[in-house]
Amino acid sequence: DQQVKQNSPSLSVQEGRISILNCDYTNSMFDYFLWYKKYPAEGPTFLISISSIKDKNEDGRFTVFLNKSAKHLSLHIVPSQPGDSAVYFCAAREAGNMLTFGGGTRLMVKP
Amino acid sequence: DVKVTQSSRYLVKRTGEKVFLECVQDMDHENMFWYRQDPGLGLRLIYFSYDVKMKEKGDIPEGYSVSREKKERFSLILESASTNQTSMYLCASRPPGLTSTDTQYFGPGTRLTVL
């Protein structure tokens, strides 16, 4: 049973518009959440993270929102650029334990 | 910059063969991990190691073993490869301790095909 789910396997967005990638989790003990980006033929790279004591974290064009009551987090990319086209994984950590990854969402940003 | 390298980018093996996947990191990290990535399933942890000669099972260790003889090197071994082990294998390392960031640094991956 997947504790971290990304229900949209793919997302297509026009360049300049907002991309919203969603992630749901079931384990209320997760205390830290991360987003990784993966280009083809490369390993995932860390993008942005958020602690469970916060509800928002922003880094340039990337913002992660956390709704603990709904057990939901989202990654917003504004404005989207063609170079953002990649697979995005959300991951969650229960204190002292390993990361649990979602299934990934493939984002395609069209010029 | 942290560098994690994996010995092969692409590998094709036959059913029943013994397969070695090597991973090397250059940042003196204690923690190293092996994942496999499959469509729709994300990254699933196979094994991890928090020190030399130490290993712990992850979520899907069956059919795999690991070796950590040196701090910088973490090997994944498929004792007898099977077709359901066809996958992308990713190695990662992480600095020691329980930090709030828990950022892992990944290698480029090895695409293994078992025929």
Check: CB of residue B105 under 8 Å from CB of residue B2: yes
Alpha-carbon gap, residue B65 to B30, rounded angstroms? 19
Model confidence pLDDT, tens digit, residues B64-107: 999 999 999 999 999 999 999 999 999 999 877 655 456 789 99
Please report the pLDDT score of residue B102 as a whole number. 61
Distances (CA, A) of B111 to A9, A50, B32: 21, 31, 19
Task: Say how far apart CA A94 and CA A3 lie, in whole Å.
Answer: 11
Start-to-end CA distance of chain A, whole Å, equals 38
Q: If you average pLDDT over residues A25-39, what whole number do you get?
A: 94
- The alpha carbon of residue B88 is apart from the nearest alpha carbon of chain A, in Å, by 10
**pLDDT at res. B114:** 97
* Mean pLDDT, residues A26-37: 94
Q: With bands split at pLDDT 50, 70 and 90, how would you rate the model's confidence at B27?
A: confident
Nearest by CB: A101 against B42, B98, B103 = B42
Instruction: Give the residue from B110, B92, B88, B112 showing the smallest Cα distance to B7.
Output: B110
DSSP code, position A84: G
User: Interface of chain A against chain B, CB under 8 Å?
Assistant: 4, 6, 9, 32, 34, 36, 41-46, 49, 51, 89, 91, 93, 95-96, 98-99, 101-104
User: In the predicted model, is pLDDT for residue A94 greater than 90?
Assistant: no
Which pLDDT tens digit goes with each residue over A9-22?
999 999 999 999 99
Average pLDDT, chain B: 91
CB neighbourhood size of B37 (10 A): 22
Q: Which two tokens stand for residue A89?
A: 């994984």
